Amino acid sequence: MKNIKKNIIVFILISVVFIFIWYIYNNASSKVGYKTDLPKVGAAIYKYDDEFMSYILNSMEDESYGKVALNVNDSQNDQNIQLRQVDEMISNGVRAIAINLVDPKAAQIVINKAKAWDLPVIFFNKEPESSVLNSYNKAWFVGTDSKEAGILQGKMIVDLWNQNKSKWDKNHDGKLSYVLLKGEPGHPDAEARSKYALDEIKKAGIPVEKLDEATAMWDAAKAKDKMDAWISKFNNKIEFVISNNDVMALGAIDSLEKAGYLSGNKFIPVVGIDAIPAAIKKIKEGKMVGTVLNDANSQGKAIIDLVANVAKGKNIFSGTSWRGNSDKSVRIHYVIIIKDNVDEAEQAYK
């Protein structure tokens, strides 16, 4: 009798401990989005140290809760590191991968790795060549249309220049004398933005004078250095600073402010692309004249919606409002942002 009683107590105690462990595990895991029944998804960002990408990452993490068990890697701007991360994702049993390539040309290697395990791949932000994307029926791209950003930036420059020409055309020669800060050479966004912004200005009949163009690799400190050098080289000749993104525009603004520009009548218009909160602040302060919204929130949401579907073996667009293009892409539209509609950008980066 005594033994039976003892066994019952031991049984109850063990059960209580098990229930307690089960409860803690389930609660903790659902809080961080790693519920065991969610499909594992591996992702990589080309480098965490890129402000715009950090907004995409935040959006992806927010959107992943309850949908996928997302594990994101920082590829530290090194394609070899990223390829090793892809190998690890595969050996960890992910059901799909989402990749922001370091080098857009490495898309084929990633596809070969994924294809060997029949794994779907969503590339985002850095667009692979369409022939490469077409080589695998389980590969897609989520991002934007790089050309559209350039066209809109160009249109915005045309409007602003026409409205302010009497003040901004300092030597009154009718030409728009500019310096251009470029992102990573070979990056589809950097190339298309630079080309189409200028095409648009020329198409509007505004004569341009290119003082210089240089890459600052999407980076504020590098852009500040370039701008410092340009200010001393060209002195008062610069009439416009065109930047492929906001982070570099902010670096240029920093340089201009330190050199005594952007106040009083020493004004030089600066434009960027992305509409990140720091740039919106400068636009509100009147230190930057415009940008183009690159909607990080929507891109993060589209990446997760699509990768969750393919990881579950569903149709990629099932239950979503995203529509694919014939080139296997989902592209989020850009929007011109000037002082009058900054709230649109603030909404998108909430």
Rounded Cα gap, residues 147 and 247, in angstroms: 19
Asked if residue 294 binds ligand GAL (CB under 6 A), the reply is yes
Measuring CA to CA, which residue among 279, 278, 255, 280 is closest to residue 268? 255
Query: Which of these segments, 50-58, 225-233, 309-317, 318-326, binds ligand GAL (CB under 6 A)?
Result: 50-58
Nearer residue to ligand GAL within complex by CB, 186 or 313: 186
- Residue 345 engages ligand GAL in binding (rule: CB under 6 A): no
By CB under 6 A, residue 334 contacts ligand GAL: no
By CB under 6 A, residue 97 contacts ligand GAL: no
The CB-of-288 to ligand GAL minimum distance in angstroms stands at 15
Q: Cβ distance 117 to 88 under 8 Å?
A: no
Among 8-16, 21-29, 45-53, 84-92, which window interacts with ligand GAL (CB under 6 A)? 45-53
| Residue 207: CA count within 13 A, CB half-sphere | 5
Give the one residue of 42, 52, 206, 298 binding ligand GAL; rule: CB under 6 A. 52
Would you give the DSSP letter of residue 340? G
Among 200, 274, 295, 305, binds ligand GAL (CB under 6 A): 274
**Residue 56 Cβ vs ligand GAL, minimum distance, rounded to whole Å:** 8
How far is residue 25 from each of residues 19, 41, 301, 322, measured CA to CA in Å?
10, 20, 28, 35
How many of the other CB atoms lie within 10 Å of CB of 347? 11
Give the nearest distance from C-beta 245 to ligand GAL in angstroms.
Answer: 3
The distance of closest approach from Cβ of residue 51 to ligand GAL in the complex, given in angstroms and rounded to an integer, is 7
Phi and psi at residue 294, to the nearest 5° = -110, 100
Minimum Å distance from CB 46 to ligand GAL?
Answer: 6
Kindly determine how many residues on this chain lie close enough to bind ligand GAL according to the rule CB under 6 A: 12
Interacting residues with ligand GAL between 245 and 264 (CB under 6 A): 245, 247
Contact pick of 124, 218, 230, 261 for ligand GAL (by CB under 6 A): 218
Q: What is the Cα–Cα distance from 86 to 53, expressed in whole angstroms? A: 19
CA gap 51, 218 in Å, rounded: 9
The greatest distance separating any two alpha carbons of the chain, rounded to the nearest whole angstrom, comes to 108
Q: DSSP class of residue 273?
A: S
Would you say 201 and 158 are in contact if contact means Cβ atoms under 8 Å apart? yes
> Which parts of this chain interact with ligand GAL (CB under 6 A)?
50, 52-53, 125-126, 189, 218, 245, 247, 273-274, 294
